[in-house]
Each structure stands twice: as structure tokens, then as C-alpha cells.
Chains A and B, each alone.
Chain A
Amino acid sequence: MIRVQDLTKRYARTVAVDNVSFEVEKGQIVGFLGPNGAGKTTTMRVLTCFLPPTGGEAEVAGFNVAQKPMEVKKRIGYLPETPPLYPEMEVIEYLNFVGRLKGIPKAQLAERVKEVSERCNVADVSTKLIGKLSKGYRQRVGLAQAIIHNPDVLILDEPTAGLDPKQIIETRELIKNLAGDHTIILSTHILPEVEQTCEKVIIINKGKVVATDSVENLTSRLRGSESVAVEVSAKDGELPAQNVQQRLEQVPGVSRVVYRTARDGKLRFEVESLQGRHIRPEIARSVVEAGWNLHELHPVAFSLEEIFLELTSSDKSAQASGATQ
């Protein structure tokens, strides 16, 4: 749905986006994660045809942003960093205006406006002047504006900035519900947001993509290995932790096994894999073959905080690249 190839955007002095490539599948929610000044907004502005790329290609909904901007614009909904609102308009008036601007036929306009007002929880302020709304309500009107014409692709620049915790949860739910028929890119520097809302994450720093992966994979890839929590118990009788540990250590691809706790006869271990190995199927087979009960088997997620710091702090990445050479 979105295909970005070697995209570069240079401002007068700064290179804001440097050779960025990524792809987003139809119906996916992708998080665009990066510290301040990473180039998130700039990338989004190129995708929405607001800024032309300096180099490289970007394709949205099958159309090149530089060659077919009109076709792209018809198919995107965009919530910029500051919601584009006219303070002198009433909410309903504003949504009518945007709806017409996006090409919704007059006959369907009232219905669409009503629908998005309800969906974004702004129906109760529909006759208020936008200039008099609180920050959170403005953000919601901004979101309503972005989805009014039911676009294929939604591009949301920090959609939850400035909302209170309850609204943040509501907005995330709303965004999740929109996925499926819409393809969504959202930018943020809030890490849990990506963990909770997105299927895929693109981490960007100083204009360069430092990682692209599913949230799960990224955590393991970062360590270069997978960390798995395993909980087993005996079918009947006692089960010495020693035995389980030995057996797990013999599973191919396992580098380390740590015994954690025992509770109600269930023994808990943390198993780390060798670089790039997927060990969960082997562990499951091994435990079952030994005749034990397998209660739990799941990857232990790294918090995104850790990943993020690791990937974006320049000292560490310098060390990392030094180590690989």
C-alpha cells in the first residue's frame, strides 16, 4: 500500500530524510518511531504530497507521489502534527468544509459528518467554535477530519499528543478499529504506544531507518537472539529442576538456560537462543517428548525503551558497528 524507496529529503542545510526505504502492507498499522528531529514529520509530508522528495521514490496506494499527486491525495487522510483547524469555524461547519474539499458528494455529506463525529467523540461539541475547544477536542476534530472521506491510507502525525490518559486509550482503540479497511502509519515518540497499537515498527533516527520489523521480532533481533519463558511441570510426582535444565540445554539452538522460580509444582525457566535461531518449536517438542506438561511458552519481550535507546544512541551503534567489523 505504501512503498518508499531510497527516499531522501533535503532542506536548505539539513538532510532531514536520508535514503529511507520501507513498505507497508494493506490493512497494517505501522508505527513510525524516532526521537525529536528524526525526520518523521518530513517523511509523512512527502507521503502526503505536501513536500516533493529530493531523491528516491514514494508510492502510496499504487500512485507515485511526485507523478500522480492528485490520485494520492484522493486516497489519503492526513492528521498533521498541529491539527489543521480554523478557529473561527464551528466543528460541524469545519467537517462539512473538509468533506466537500475531499470530494464527498453533497448528498452523502451530512451522513459522513455525523458518522465521524460520533466515531471521534466530537458530536457533543459540533456547534461549538473550534477556537474555544480544548486541546484534546481539537485533536479529535483533527482525527475526524482525516477519516471523513474514508481514505485507504491514514497518515497520523503524533495522533495522541496532548490527550489525557483516557482519551489516549480511546484514540488508540479508535485507530485499531480503523485498521483493516485502512492502512495506517502513525508517528510517535511514545514507545508503549507502538507496542499497543502497531503491528510493525519503523525506527528512524537522524533521517535514517535504524530498524524495521514487527514489534515482536524487533525485540529478539536486537539481542541477536530470542529469549523464551518456559513453564513445565511433571505429569505426576516430583520433577527436579536439574533434569529439566539439562534437557533444555540439549535442545539445538539454545545457548543458555536460567532457572527462575517454582510455584505450585510448575518450574519456570528462561531460555536464550543462539543468534538468529527460533527455538520455541524445539523446546515444545522436547518437553512433550519428556512426558512433562508444558504450561507456558512465550518470547520475553524487551521493552521498546531498551531497544530504542540501544538503536538510537550513537555511542552504542558506533560500538555495535565496530564490533561487527
Chain B
Amino acid sequence: MTNIWIICRKELKSYFASPIAYGLMAFFALISGYFFYAATAIFVSRGMESQMMGRPMPMDVNEWVIRPVLMNVSVIGLFLIPMITMRLFAEEKRSGTIELLATSPVRDFEIILGKWFAALLMYIAILAVSALNILILFAYGSPDWRPLLVGYFGLILQGGCLLAIGTFISTTTRNQIIAGVGTFAICLLLWVLDWVTAFETTATSKVLSYLSVVTHFEPFSKGVLDSKDIIFYFSVIVFGLFLTARSMESLRWRS
């Protein structure tokens, strides 16, 4: 446990030692701010429209603002993941510091968990920026906070999955860029898998869409906590970290 924390703290320090962390946060703040602005603007104009037509529709901030913002944030998250995970192992392998970690009295799983937790905390820190926007809603209205909490929980789970996959990919190369591009490709794939359901309803498409991380996020964005989705996310996290452990082991046998 201590070892996991030691590794995690070291990773967090190096995230914040580089300007990239701040850059990502600023970029994310900007883009989620824009989504938030757009969603609110649509909400407001719709509201005015329906009033002018004289038949007021029941309008819900959660449905009209929070949900689209969460969905967009979840997609932008896909682009953030590779930038967070690409250096985790690739950089250690390139610079040779992996020799220090691998010859210290810590277990592989402690190294892996430490790094993954650090990546997750970094991701949560970036997400927190988008949460600031949504807090504004609470200042002017009274949206239901429970679905919001569920939505963020979903975002964190989805991030955890992709970060585990990214961590695995980072162990397979000593080149950060390759790790980043590879992770990005996989994230993209897991996202678009969901699209097949739009035009197909065969069993294959159901399986493909089941594998899409975004499919499983949708209920969360509606504020629905389903154990099915939670189990899916947890299994992907475990699987990703397991692959990382196997990859670390095989590196020793091959290299």
C-alpha cells in the first residue's frame, strides 16, 4: 500500500512539474466551457421560444444542459487519455529509470497501480475544471445534484478504463509518441463502436456496441446507476491492468 502511494506521488509530481498538465487543464476548461455555454444558450433560446408560442413545455436543466455537457465531456475525455498515459512506462523505459523501479523491493502490481492511480487523479483534476462550469448552474437555478454526481462517477469509471488500456499500451514501447498514438486509436475505436447500432441491429452490432465505453456511459449521463455498467467498467479496468502486468513480465523475458 505504501509503495503504491510512493509511486503515485512521484507520478503526480512529474505531471505537475511539466507545463503539459496545466496546458491540458486550460484546454479542457476552455472546451468544456464552450460546450456549457452552447448547451445553456440552446436551453435559454428554447425556453424563450416555447414561452412565445404560448404553450410552455416542461423544461429540465438536467436534461437540457447537464446531460449534453456530460456526453461531450466524455468524448473529449477520449482525447485526453492518451496524453495522460503515454509517458507512464514508455518514458521510464527510454530513460532507463525502469531499471531502478524493477530492481527496488516493490512488486510489479504496486508500480502499475501507483501509476494508474496517478493517471486517474490527474484525469479527475482535469475533470474538476469542467465541474466548475456546472457549479454556476447551482448559483442561478436548482438542478438536481444526484444525476450530476452519477454522471461524474460514470466519467471517472470510463476514464479509469481507458487509462488502464493506455497504461498497458505505454508498456509496449519506449516511444511516448507511439504509445500516445496507439492509445488514441484504441480510444477512438472504442468510441465509434457505438455507432454501428445506429444502422444495424444484428447480434454482432450489439456485441460491438456493448464493447463501446460510450454506450455504457449513456445511462450515467441520465443519472441512472446500473450495476451492469459498473461491472463492465470494473472488468475493463482489471483486464487493462492485468495486461499491463503481463506485458511488464514479458518485457523481462524478451528484452
Contact surface of A with B, Cβ cutoff 8 Å = 11-12, 45, 48-52, 70, 73-74, 76, 78, 80-89, 93, 97-98, 100-103, 145
Considering the complex, give the chain B residue whose CB is closest to the CB of A103. Answer: B105
Residues of B within 8 Å of A52, CB to CB, are 252-253
B105 touches A70 (CB 8 A): yes
The 7 closest A-B pairs by CB, nearest first: A84-B100, A88-B17, A84-B97, A73-B105, A48-B103, A82-B96, A74-B105
A101 touches B3 (CB 8 A): yes
Residues of A within 8 Å of B18, CB to CB, are 88
Whole-angstrom distance from the CB of A2 to the nearest CB of chain B?
A: 15
A83 to B97 Cα, complex, angstroms:
8
B48 within 8 A of A: no
20 residue pairs A–B, Cβ–Cβ below 8 Å = A48-B99, A51-B252, A70-B107, A73-B104, A74-B105, A76-B103, A78-B99, A80-B96, A82-B95, A84-B99, A84-B100, A85-B97, A88-B18, A98-B104, A100-B2, A101-B100, A101-B104, A101-B105, A102-B104, A145-B100
Contact surface of B with A, Cβ cutoff 8 Å = 2-3, 6-7, 10, 13-14, 17-18, 95-107, 252-255
A12 touches B100 (CB 8 A): no
A86 touches B99 (CB 8 A): no
Considering the complex, give the chain A residue whose CB is closest to the CB of B15. Answer: A88
Which of B10, B96, B103, B107 contacts A97 (CB under 8 A)? B10
Whole-angstrom distance from the CB of B98 to the nearest CB of chain A?
A: 8
A85 to B94 Cα, complex, angstroms:
11
A89 touches B13 (CB 8 A): yes
A78 to B254 Cα, complex, angstroms:
21
The winner among A73, A86, A87, A102 for most chain B CB atoms within 10 A is A86
A81 to B103 Cα, complex, angstroms:
14
Residues of B within 8 Å of A100, CB to CB, are 2, 6
Whole-angstrom distance from the CB of B77 to the nearest CB of chain A?
A: 25
Residues of B within 8 Å of A87, CB to CB, are 95
A242 to B254 Cα, complex, angstroms:
67
A73 touches B254 (CB 8 A): no
Residues of A within 8 Å of B17, CB to CB, are 88-89
Residues of A within 8 Å of B2, CB to CB, are 100
A55 to B166 Cα, complex, angstroms:
34
Which of A51, A98, A103 contacts B100 (CB under 8 A)? A98
Asked if A97 meets B105 with Cβ closer than 8 Å, knowing A12-B254, A50-B252, the reply is no
Which of B6, B96, B255 contacts A101 (CB under 8 A)? B6
B13 touches A49 (CB 8 A): no
A50 to B96 Cα, complex, angstroms:
12
Whole-angstrom distance from the CB of B90 to the nearest CB of chain A?
A: 14
Considering the complex, give the chain B residue whose CB is closest to the CB of A84. Answer: B100
Whole-angstrom distance from the CB of A43 to the nearest CB of chain B?
A: 14
Whole-angstrom distance from the CB of A79 to the nearest CB of chain B?
A: 10
A73 to B101 Cα, complex, angstroms:
10
A78 to B255 Cα, complex, angstroms:
19
Residues of A within 8 Å of B14, CB to CB, are 86, 88-89
Whole-angstrom distance from the CB of A173 to the nearest CB of chain B?
A: 25
Asked if A49 meets B103 with Cβ closer than 8 Å, knowing A86-B14, A97-B10, the reply is yes
Whole-angstrom distance from the CB of A229 to the nearest CB of chain B?
A: 45
A213 to B18 Cα, complex, angstroms:
50
Whole-angstrom distance from the CB of B96 to the nearest CB of chain A?
A: 4
Asked if A84 meets B105 with Cβ closer than 8 Å, knowing A97-B10, A100-B6, the reply is no
A84 touches B95 (CB 8 A): yes
Residues of A within 8 Å of B99, CB to CB, are 45, 48, 50, 78, 80, 84
Residues of A within 8 Å of B97, CB to CB, are 84-86
Whole-angstrom distance from the CB of A92 to the nearest CB of chain B?
A: 13
- A49-B102, A88-B14 known; 13 new pairs, CB 8 Å cut-off, are A49-B103, A50-B99, A51-B252, A51-B255, A76-B103, A84-B97, A86-B14, A88-B13, A88-B18, A89-B14, A98-B100, A100-B6, A102-B104
Whole-angstrom distance from the CB of A88 to the nearest CB of chain B?
A: 4
Whole-angstrom distance from the CB of B221 to the nearest CB of chain A?
A: 37
A100 to B7 Cα, complex, angstroms:
10
Whole-angstrom distance from the CB of B21 to the nearest CB of chain A?
A: 11
Residues of B within 8 Å of A103, CB to CB, are 105
A86 to B101 Cα, complex, angstroms:
12
Residues of B within 8 Å of A101, CB to CB, are 3, 6-7, 100-101, 104-106
Which of A12, A50, A86, A89 contacts B103 (CB under 8 A)? A50
Residues of A within 8 Å of B10, CB to CB, are 86, 97
Considering the complex, give the chain B residue whose CB is closest to the CB of A82. Answer: B96
Residues of A within 8 Å of B254, CB to CB, are 12
A50 touches B6 (CB 8 A): no
